[in-house]
């Protein structure tokens, strides 16, 4: 093995171990501040310094997200909870700054970044599955389904973050498997592990993200050539075996997917759908309708949103829907900004080379599924999306220059 290759492997191993330890301990607090807030604060400062010091910056599709971050400071949240307003501003600002920062990288660097993070998000679960580490994050208990067990979390703070990270990674690895970018045996192992860990989170959002996000890639590669169709049959056969062995035979998982609990069935009413999300959505819309005109335009902020939700639901929670969350916290202006960002994503994607377009479309669809059932700013999925988008953008530009 060449020294350069060995150095590259050592670099990735060091980076993986560092991230594993960082994520493992991020739910711990130092005083009043979580480690997750600290590393995100360091990341924000790093991005600001790098972008400010750059002689020429491209902002591409990200100005709407910059304004959305600023909106976190322009509502009653700054009065109700100044610390949280500043925290939301910083965490939201990371999103566009990440997008702007990665514009500087070459297609090969972006490809390596995609493979590294996708591999890490999947392989990081291995030490926990082997019993080497114990998760410190919040588990999802399955007692309402009649079993005394929990969904796996790995190094993440919560099971939903774990699920969306696995889903985004699975889609990236699936794309590179079809593209045969690196050793297909390694990619096949990652796909099997990713599928196994994903279903053992017992989170339906991640599973739906994979199903919907895979469609553009499967359609494109199935049409591309006979060889691709053979590959598709191979991978389809593999996952048919995995589904029959790990999904259909798992009664708890099937009950979770269908919403069949001990004392209720989610499909009995709209209010019960999605672990009670239907009722949360109804109350979220009621809160918006009852807000005054100024609040409708600029938002009521997270603290006030939770307060009003507690009055209706008895629990101070967020809507578990990124669109409704933005509408309540940042008003119609915030929602329009976010929808404009999504529109620009889709618009730019139409200009990409067909190969990479299938990847980005899949990631966007998965991101929208995540946003509808969770939130819009879960960093792990957003990172995969932005790396994939920028990779496709830079590769398309390179191919255009060569032709």
Class of residue 6 by CB neighbours under 10 A (exposed 0-12, middle 13-18, buried 19+): exposed
| Arithmetic mean of pLDDT, 368-378 | 94
Q: What is the 3-state secondary structure (H, E, C) of 349-364?
A: HCCCCHHHHHHHHHHH
- Kindly state the DSSP code that residue 247 receives in the 8-state scheme: I
Give the pLDDT score at 59. 75
What band does 398 get if pLDDT is binned at 50, 70 and 90? Answer: low
Give the global pTM. Answer: 0.93
Angstrom CA distances, 28 to 24, 39, 97, 216, 339, stand at 9, 12, 26, 39, 34
Give the pLDDT score at 403. 43
Residue 3 CA to residue 167 CA, distance in Å, equals 34
140-157 pLDDT tens trace = 777 877 777 888 999 998
DSSP-derived secondary structure for 93-148: HHHHHHHHHGGGS-HHHHHHHHHHHHHHHHHTTHHHHTTSS---SB-EE-GGGT-S
Residue 163 CA to residue 340 CA, distance in Å, equals 27
283-296 pLDDT tens trace = 999 999 999 999 99
| Arithmetic mean of pLDDT, 329-357 | 94
What band does 89 get if pLDDT is binned at 50, 70 and 90? Answer: very high
Residue 209 CA to residue 219 CA, distance in Å, equals 16
Q: Is the Cβ–Cβ distance between 60 and 351 less than 8 Å?
A: no
Q: How far apart are the first and last CA of the chain?
A: 35
Give the pLDDT score at 2. 59
Does position 339 have pLDDT exceeding 90, yes or no? yes
Give the pLDDT score at 183. 84
Q: Is the Cβ–Cβ distance between 357 and 390 less than 8 Å?
A: no
Residue 364 CA to residue 115 CA, distance in Å, equals 18
Does position 104 have pLDDT exceeding 60, yes or no? yes
Class of residue 10 by CB neighbours under 10 A (exposed 0-12, middle 13-18, buried 19+): exposed
| Arithmetic mean of pLDDT, 302-308 | 92
Quick check: helix, strand or coil at residue 1? coil
What band does 402 get if pLDDT is binned at 50, 70 and 90? Answer: very low
Q: Alpha carbon 353 to chain centroid distance? A: 24
Quick check: helix, strand or coil at residue 265? strand
| Arithmetic mean of pLDDT, 355-378 | 95
| Arithmetic mean of pLDDT, 363-380 | 95
């Amino acid at each position: 093995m060449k020294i350069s290759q060995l150095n590259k492997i050592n670099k990735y191993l060091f980076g993986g171990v560092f991230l594993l330890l960082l994520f493992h301990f991020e739910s711990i607090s130092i005083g009043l501040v979580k480690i997750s807030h600290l590393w995100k604060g360091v990341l924000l400062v790093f991005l600001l310094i790098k972008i400010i010091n750059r002689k020429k910056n491209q902002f591409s599709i990200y100005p709407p997200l910059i304004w959305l971050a600023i909106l976190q400071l322009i509502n009653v949240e700054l009065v109700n909870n100044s610390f949280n307003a500043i925290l939301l501003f910083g965490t939201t600002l990371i999103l566009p700054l990440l997008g702007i920062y990665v514009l500087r990288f070459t297609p090969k660097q972006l490809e390596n970044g995609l493979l590294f993070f996708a591999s890490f998000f999947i392989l990081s679960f291995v030490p926990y599955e082997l019993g080497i580490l114990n998760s410190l994050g919040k588990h999802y208990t399955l007692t309402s389904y009649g079993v005394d067990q929990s969904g796996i979390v790995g190094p993440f703070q919560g099971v939903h973050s774990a699920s969306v990270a696995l889903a985004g990674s699975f889609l990236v690895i699936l794309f590179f498997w079809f593209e045969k970018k690196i050793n297909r045996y390694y990619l096949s192992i990652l796909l099997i592990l990713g599928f196994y860990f994903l279903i053992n989170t017992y989170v339906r959002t991640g599973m739906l993200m994979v199903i919907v996000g895979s469609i553009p890639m499967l359609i494109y590669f199935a049409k591309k050539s006979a060889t691709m169709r053979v590959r598709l049959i191979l991978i389809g056969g593999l996952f048919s075996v995995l589904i029959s062995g790990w999904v259909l035979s798992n009664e708890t998982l099937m009950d979770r997917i269908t919403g069949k609990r001990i004392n209720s069935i989610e499909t009995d009413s709209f209010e019960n759908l999605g672990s009670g999300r239907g009722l949360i959505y109804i109350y979220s819309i009621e809160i918006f309708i009852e807000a005054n005109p100024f609040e409708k335009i600029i938002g009521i902020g997270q603290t006030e949103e939770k307060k009003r939700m507690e009055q209706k639901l008895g629990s101070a929670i967020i809507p578990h829907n990124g669109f409704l969350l933005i509408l309540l916290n940042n008003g119609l202006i915030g929602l329009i900004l976010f929808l404009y960002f999504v529109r620009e994503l889709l618009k730019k994607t139409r200009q990409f080379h067909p190969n990479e377009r299938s990847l980005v479309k899949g990631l966007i669809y998965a991101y929208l599924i995540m946003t509808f059932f969770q939130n819009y700013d879960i960093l792990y999925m957003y990172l995969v999306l932005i790396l994939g988008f920028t990779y496709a953008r830079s590769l398309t530009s390179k191919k255009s220059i060569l032709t």
